[in-house]
Amino acid sequence: ASPKAKHYLLFILFFTGPDGEHNWSSNYPFCGGAFQSPIDFQTQLLRYDPNLPPIQVQNYNLATKEQLTLSNNGHSVQLSLPSHMYISSLPHRYSAAQLHFHWGSSNLLTGSEHTVNGKRFAGEMHVVHFNSDKYPNISMAVDKHDGLAVLGVFIEIGEFNPAFDKFFKYMNGIKYRDQKIQVTAFNIHALLPARLDEYYRYDGSLTTPPCYPSVLWTVFRRPVTISRKQFLALATALYASYAQESTTVPLHGNYRKPQIADNRVVLVSFKDGLHGILSAASPFQRKQVIQKLLVGDLADLADEGLYQLLPKLSPQPGKDKKLKKTKKQGHWSQATQKKQWSKNKVQSNTAFDTDKGICFVSLEENVMHKLERYHAKGLMVEALREVVFPELNLRSYLYCRSDLDLQTIRKLIQGRSRDEAAELEQSLAEAMLKKMRRQINQHRNPNMKTTIGHPQATIPKDFNSALTYHRPQRAEWED
């Protein structure tokens, strides 16, 4: 079958079977890899970051003389966007490319991809941008680690929304796959929530094949509303099949199930309504941790209670005195630490140079080439995960969007003293045990306040399996 036919069959399977997405990794190995999206925004994953600025978008109010292309690509409704629209509140300029939707069906009014403590909204809109400071177009950016930034908007059934009707009213013109029409441009800003200062932020992936982990996600906290009639225009009027085909395939239920968190945390720009939410550690503190893992005394690091390695853990009672003593005796000044980090930073030819770009297509080709030598193509997903995850975890950790994973720590301390490394791993295991015990005690405390809008997540029944602090294997993360 041709690549186009395979791609089409893949999405037909997505729509017609609840387990269709499990087959994605057969043709697109990154779909079974690391840092996948969407995820469930569980309360225990959230970290408040007071430095997150309100989202600022430029040139979103398009002139009516412009024309936009509205299309049915077989798996969603897509509206093209001009690149002079961009996000100006991120480290790079991210220019707009398109927006599209995910939704349920007429019988299932829940079809958002991201969820909040298990709650699924009626639908979700994604406004896709690419890093135009570094890449000339979205095709060149899509497989780079810093290539894409997506604004996610939850959609609820409620009041009629005139902004969405600017193109929803043309759905009959794109009923079948690959049909396109031109629509008059309008104010795209009107599709976004009123509050652009409240959002979730994390590192993730495309939610459809090829699932490259190249997306900086910003999902707004407040949903927008559309009427039931508008929702049904999405859920009932469209087909994933071509117009000339005798058998029609409805286009609905095009959302991916939540993926594992992969030690990621979710930064949030809001604190109200969240009980006892932790704050994000600073990037500089995290650089100190990496510096110690690379060239510092691992035994001392283990003795410090690992409160910096695992920011979810607050310093334990009785540790404060010892930590203060350590700071007096062995900690450098900030200026010295910055100098040492720059001096001893991992060399650019290693996997852990955070200034070096990651091209996921190139990684895939290199891994495939090596596996073919050993007739082991079936191991592609596992091998890619092993190669890609530590680097993604490290980068995300340094930007405060992940906790360090044991697999990453092991990579960082390769070549260090075996005794020191063993002591550090033992301390990590003990720290995880203490964390789980605290979670259990909190869960059993009947006086604990609930989180407004974010119910307390339940603690897993099998505590022992959670304490092993291991990397999930493929069979474990599949839904």
Task: Write the pLDDT tens digit of every residue in 116-157.
Answer: 999 999 999 999 999 999 999 999 999 999 999 999 999 999
**Residue 233 contacts by C-beta under 8 Å, 6 or more apart in sequence?**
168, 169, 171
Task: Say how far apart CA 448 and CA 425 lie, in whole Å.
Answer: 33
Residue 419, number of CB atoms within 10 A of its CB: 10
Task: Write the pLDDT tens digit of every residue in 150-201.
Answer: 999 999 999 999 999 999 999 999 999 999 999 999 999 999 999 999 999 9
| Higher per-residue pLDDT: 223 or 321 | 223
Active-site residue (options: 75, 92, 100, 129)? 75
Which among 462, 21, 44, 421 is positioned nearest to 263, based on CA atoms? 44
| Higher per-residue pLDDT: 423 or 337 | 423
Which among 66, 199, 181, 33 is positioned nearest to 127, based on CA atoms? 199
Task: Say how far apart CA 201 and CA 268 lie, in whole Å.
Answer: 6
DSSP 436-458: HHHHHHHHH-TTPPPPTTSPPPP
Q: How far is CA 204 from the centre of its chain?
A: 2
The answer to whether residues 216 and 203 touch, using CB atoms and an 8 Å cutoff, is: yes
What the chain holds in terms of domains, given with CATH numbers, is 3-268 (3.10.200.10), 282-477 (no CATH)
Q: What is the pLDDT of residue 352?
A: 54
331 noted as active-site residue: no
pTM over 0.75: yes
pLDDT at 320 over 80: no
Q: What is the pLDDT of residue 214?
A: 98
Give the type of residue at 399: Y
